[in-house]
């Protein structure tokens, strides 16, 4: 399994240098940067049109990848995110992260969410994709947001049996029922305020679901 990091400038080269140094002392991961900077073009030429489209969607022009020596847990991924945040501290660079077992078989976001029997027949999930740093701080902020919104039942990084699956989205919040437009708006206003306070950019989408009887 690999984690793919996409860097955004300014301070692009400084950020890349910091991430390369980070992997030299990490016993859990290995890093590949310079080879991957040129590899996507070679890789694309050998793929079918459908596979090429999938790869561009799930891992769009990644800058550096981290290969896990063994399948990581969610805590391992959180730890890596914290290390990346620290490595980019002092630069103006931003990043997003994707962790998948196979970039040509992107995970379905819903498969990474455990839906307990306590939810109503109609419920919703709000998915997030983050651009940091400091992404790690999101894991401290979201439990507090959930406490103040009783209709939101739980939140977690996306994961399934094969390990963490951070693809098009990173994080999911499960609603115990379908939220009203006002509840959803108030919730997103809170999220926006909290994430803006720490400098996180993000994308969010809320999807509704019906449990088949």
Question: Is the domain of 114 the same as that of 197?
Answer: yes
Look at residues 100, 118, 151 and tell me which one is the last residue of a structural domain. 100
Among 99, 19, 129, smallest CA distance to 63 is for 19
How far is Cα of residue 39 from the mean position of the Cα atoms in its chain? 23
pLDDT at 61: 67
Q: For residue 140, give Cα distances in angstroms to 98, 108, 143, 146.
A: 20, 26, 6, 11
Q: Sort 106 into a burial class: Cβ within 10 Å, 0-12 / 13-18 / 19+.
A: middle
Question: Is the domain of 82 the same as that of 115?
Answer: no
CATH number assigned to the domain comprising residue 86 = 3.30.70
3-state helix/strand/coil string of 124-151: EEEEEEEEECCHHHHHHHHHHHHHCCCC
Question: Is the domain of 126 the same as that of 171?
Answer: yes
pLDDT at 119: 77
- The pTM of this model reads 0.81
pLDDT over 70 percentage in the chain:
77
Distance CA 99, CA 165 (A): 6
Question: Is the domain of 144 the same as that of 77?
Answer: no
Question: Is the domain of 64 the same as that of 146?
Answer: no
pLDDT at 49: 58
Q: For residue 134, give Cα distances in angstroms to 7, 81, 147, 157, 176.
A: 13, 8, 22, 15, 29
Contact indicator for 99, 1 with CB cutoff of 8 Å: yes
How far is Cα of residue 40 from the mean position of the Cα atoms in its chain? 21
Cis peptide before 62 (omega within 30 of 0): no
Q: How many domains does the chain have?
A: 2
Distance CA 69, CA 85 (A): 21
pLDDT at 11: 94
Cis peptide before 90 (omega within 30 of 0): no
Look at residues 72, 100, 128 and tell me which one is the last residue of a structural domain. 100
Question: Is the domain of 10 the same as that of 47?
Answer: yes
Question: Is the domain of 145 the same as that of 113?
Answer: yes
Positions of the chain with pLDDT lower than 70, given as ranges: 27, 30-61, 102-109, 112, 118, 162, 213
pLDDT at 35: 43
CATH number assigned to the domain comprising residue 129 = 3.30.70.920
pLDDT at 104: 62
Contact indicator for 128, 193 with CB cutoff of 8 Å: no
Domain that holds residue 127: 109-210
Residue that the structure tokens 């999101």 belong to: 138
């Amino acid at each position: 399994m690999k984690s793919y990091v996409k860097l955004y400038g300014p301070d692009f080269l400084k950020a890349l240098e910091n991430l390369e140094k980070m992997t030299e002392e990490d016993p859990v991961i290995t890093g590949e940067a310079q080879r991957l900077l040129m590899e996507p073009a070679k890789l694309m030429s050998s793929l079918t049109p459908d596979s090429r489209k999938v790869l561009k969607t799930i891992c769009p022009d990644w800058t550096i990848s981290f290969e896990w020596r063994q399948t990581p847990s969610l805590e391992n991924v959180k730890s890596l995110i914290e290390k990346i945040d620290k490595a980019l501290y002092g630069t103006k660079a931003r990043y997003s992260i994707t962790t998948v077992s196979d970039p040509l078989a992107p995970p379905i976001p819903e498969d990474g969410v455990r839906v307990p029997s306590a939810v109503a027949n109609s419920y919703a999930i709000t998915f997030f994709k983050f651009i940091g740093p400091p992404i790690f701080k999101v894991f401290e902020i979201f439990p507090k947001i959930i406490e103040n919104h009783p209709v939101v039942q739980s939140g977690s990084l996306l994961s399934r049996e094969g390990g963490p699956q951070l693809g098009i989205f990173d994080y999911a919040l499960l609603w115990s029922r379908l939220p009203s437009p006002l509840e959803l708006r108030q919730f997103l206003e809170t999220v926006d305020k909290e994430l803006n306070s720490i400098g996180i950019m993000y994308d969010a989408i809320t999807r509704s679901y019906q449990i088949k009887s």
